[in-house]
Amino acid sequence: MSSLTDKALAQKVWFDEYNMWILLTDGRQLSVPLLYFPRLKNASPEEREKFIISGGGYGLHWDDLDEDIHVGNLLYGRYHKEAV
């Protein structure tokens, strides 16, 4: 694993109509289409906002949506298999 991905820690997460945005602790900002995460895409804005940044920033977790995302995987382009 590259040091650019194993040091990828989420600091802040927010959404627009089509994307999930993640601010990393090293200043990088990442945008990922919600289309890649059907549970998030189909969730209400209120449900999307009910997440925790877990593992010191390595993960994102939505308990109500049963969704877990590893931040490092996003930098590698690894998404859910059911994504379009």
pTM for the model stands at: 0.85
DSSP 8-class letter at 55: G
| Within a domain: 12 | yes
| Residue 71 pLDDT | 96
What CATH number did the domain enclosing 47 receive?
3.30.2020.40
| Within a domain: 14 | yes
In this predicted structure, the answer to whether residue 1 has a pLDDT above a threshold of 50 is: no
| Within a domain: 19 | yes
| Within a domain: 72 | yes
C-alpha 64/C-alpha 22 separation (Å) is 20
Three-state SS for 82? coil
Identify the band that residue 5 occupies on the pLDDT scale cut at 50, 70 and 90: low
| Within a domain: 84 | no
| Within a domain: 81 | no
| Within a domain: 11 | yes
| Within a domain: 18 | yes
Instruction: Say how many domains are in the chain.
Output: 1
Residue 7's domain spans which residues? 3-76
| Residue 26 pLDDT | 95
C-alpha 6/C-alpha 81 separation (Å) is 22
The total number of residues shown for the chain amounts to 84
The per-residue pLDDT of the chain, averaged, comes to 90
Identify the band that residue 24 occupies on the pLDDT scale cut at 50, 70 and 90: very high
